[in-house]
Chains A and B, each alone.
Chain A
Amino acid sequence: MMKSLPITIDSVRKTYGSYVALDDVSLDIQAGEFLTLLGPSGSGKTTLLMALAGFVRPDSGKLLLDDRDITRLAPNKRDIGIVFQNYALFPHMNVLANVEYPLALRKTPKVEARQRALDTLARVKLEGLSERNIAALSGGQRQRVALARAIVFEPRVMLMDEPLSALDKNLRETMQYEIRRLHDDLGITTIYVTHDQREALIMSDRVAVMNSGRIQQIDTPQQIYDRPSTRFVAEFMGEANIVAPGSVRRIDGADPSREALMIRAESFHLDAKLVGRDGVALDGTLCAKAFRGENWLLTLALDGGQEILVCIPAALASGCAELTTGQRVTAYAPAAKVHAIPGARA
């Protein structure tokens, strides 16, 4: 296990002209944590990553590695491993030379450097490819070389900028698992940037959702998904219905919430018995239905006029095929899946 370090991001601000890329971002990342910065493009996630790497100088604020201020430290003195979106491998060197490169810069003795590079290549399952040219590698193999090169010098922090976005779906899922396993083996503090919600949920200890240069919410994947703190997070993380309290009635007749409620499409049931007495019911008219293989997607127009999405797993949707548009439908959701968004209005 390498000694990994915590990172403190303290009110970091970065503007380009009138455009605010980072708006006083503060974030504490624990030693050994796998944290994902998740957000749409232009949300500031890559700018924040590049500030940590040393390629973007914040206008104000501080970056601390452990308790050392690295805000103005040159990138080559930070000892941070980076995996770039396009891998940025050196095409004029073969696989082994790419992986040995950081060791050569550190004047590691040749024999030791070679052994460490070969060990690292084995760790990312690239044994036997050390003499290959970069041009002769597949996308997945390049990804692994980039990983090996970023960890071979035992950095104390690892940054990854959408490393899987160029891979096809199956390979992406394999690599998600392998990157997470590598993180767990090495125990290295990792900051991962992605715009893919599923990837963030699958891989991370914690997820920081960013939008317009700000961190909207930072929490465990489950909390982010089930208990979003803003409307943006609720909608960005999946098929969220945000409904006015007036459209929702408690099954047991108790007073409803006064705040806007978020209910995810897949939290609904069509059978009141599957939902507890403290659950909620939404009455509406069926506008559209679609069979999506593993589930049915129903669109209901609530009596207030708002449309909501209701997703019923195929296994529980025996009645869905018979529903016709214009029919009255009541959707039920258990209390645990109804989340009041603080301060939000429907």
Chain B
Amino acid sequence: MLEAYPDNRLSRILLWSFCALVMAFLMLPTMVVVPLSFSSSNLLEFPPRAYSLRWYETLFGSATWMAALRTSLILGALTAMIAVPLGLLACISINRLGGKAAVAIQGVLLTPSIVPGILLAIGLFFVLAAQHLVGTLFGVLVGHVVLAIPVACVVLLPALARFDWNQVQAARSLGANWARAIGGIIVPQLQISLLSATLMAFLTSLDESVISIFVASGQNSTLPKLMFLSLRDQIDPTIAAISTLWTVIVVAVVLIVTLRQKS
């Protein structure tokens, strides 16, 4: 990859230091909360004057934080489980339909990821209010699925475009109904893309805060919502502890999925 550049010591040192700088710029804002979370102080201060695990104790002892963490993880898993199959079916239809109609439908399908999140949240709030679903986990789930479907489709559409559709026709002619053709022929061959789509859908839900702020309430608060609220109401290093924990969970999930794809 680097063969095109003049190969001397200086250029290599420059290249590596530049890369290191970019990496540092990307990572530092995330990393700065890690030492904060191990602070013994009552205030968020950097660098911490002394270290302790007290904020982790507070975090794990707090029913509110733990409930929010659980809600977010469950919500993320449910979102992925619903959005990816729906997205796959939508992508198959778009792929088969072809022509201008397919482009139009694809456009409509992708709007939730283009429209500003706050507009989507307001709209969703009114729709859910009419159904008396504001404040329910189901309401938040609907919102997250709406957001995650376009994310899954962006991953799955190009994968399906490369797929040889004759295989599905062959399976059909050999006696497979639609469900078996999709399950036995398409899904196994799109495994990697489906895994990526699942991960992206999961992370979309995990990361989402605007819809949660509008729609979730009480014991259904998601972690991002609770983090926003606690930043507004009180600033203590618990927020740094949960941020660190959160980062570790997300990095672990991404690493596991990526490593599985490699093998």
Q: A: which residues have CB within 8 A of B?
A: 53-55, 74-76, 78-82, 84-86, 88-92, 101-102, 105-106, 149-150, 153
Q: B: which residues have CB within 8 A of A?
A: 164, 166-167, 169-177, 180, 184-185, 188-189
* Docked-complex contact A75 and B169, CB < 8 angstroms: yes
- What would 14 more interface pairs be, CB under 8 Å, given A86-B166, A150-B173? A53-B173, A55-B172, A74-B177, A75-B172, A75-B173, A82-B170, A82-B173, A84-B166, A84-B170, A86-B164, A88-B166, A89-B170, A90-B185, A105-B175
Query: Which residues of A have CB within 8 Å of B173?
Result: 53-54, 75-76, 78, 80-82, 150
The CA-CA distance from A75 to B169 in the complex, in Å, is 8
* Docked-complex contact A82 and B169, CB < 8 angstroms: yes
Query: Which residues of A have CB within 8 Å of B185?
Result: 90
Distance from A151 Cβ to chain B, minimum over Cβ atoms (Å): 11
Distance from B9 Cβ to chain A, minimum over Cβ atoms (Å): 44
Q: Which of the residues A54, A74, A85, A149 comes within 8 Å of B174, measured between beta carbons?
A: A149
* Docked-complex contact A76 and B164, CB < 8 angstroms: no
* Docked-complex contact B175 and A102, CB < 8 angstroms: yes
Interface centre among A80, A105, A153, by most chain B C-beta atoms within 10 angstroms, is A105
Could you list 26 A-B pairs, sorted by A, with CB under 8 Å?
A: A53-B169, A54-B172, A54-B173, A75-B169, A76-B172, A76-B173, A76-B175, A81-B174, A82-B169, A82-B170, A84-B166, A84-B169, A84-B170, A86-B166, A88-B164, A88-B170, A89-B167, A89-B170, A90-B167, A90-B170, A91-B189, A101-B184, A102-B175, A105-B176, A153-B174, A153-B175
Q: Which of the residues B167, B180, B189 comes within 8 Å of A105, measured between beta carbons?
A: B180
Query: Which residues of B have CB within 8 Å of A102?
Result: 174-175
* Docked-complex contact A92 and B188, CB < 8 angstroms: yes
Distance from A163 Cβ to chain B, minimum over Cβ atoms (Å): 12
A-B CB proximity, top 7 nearest: A88-B166, A102-B174, A88-B170, A105-B175, A75-B172, A82-B173, A92-B188
The CA-CA distance from A149 to B185 in the complex, in Å, is 15
Query: Which residues of A have CB within 8 Å of B171?
Result: 90, 101
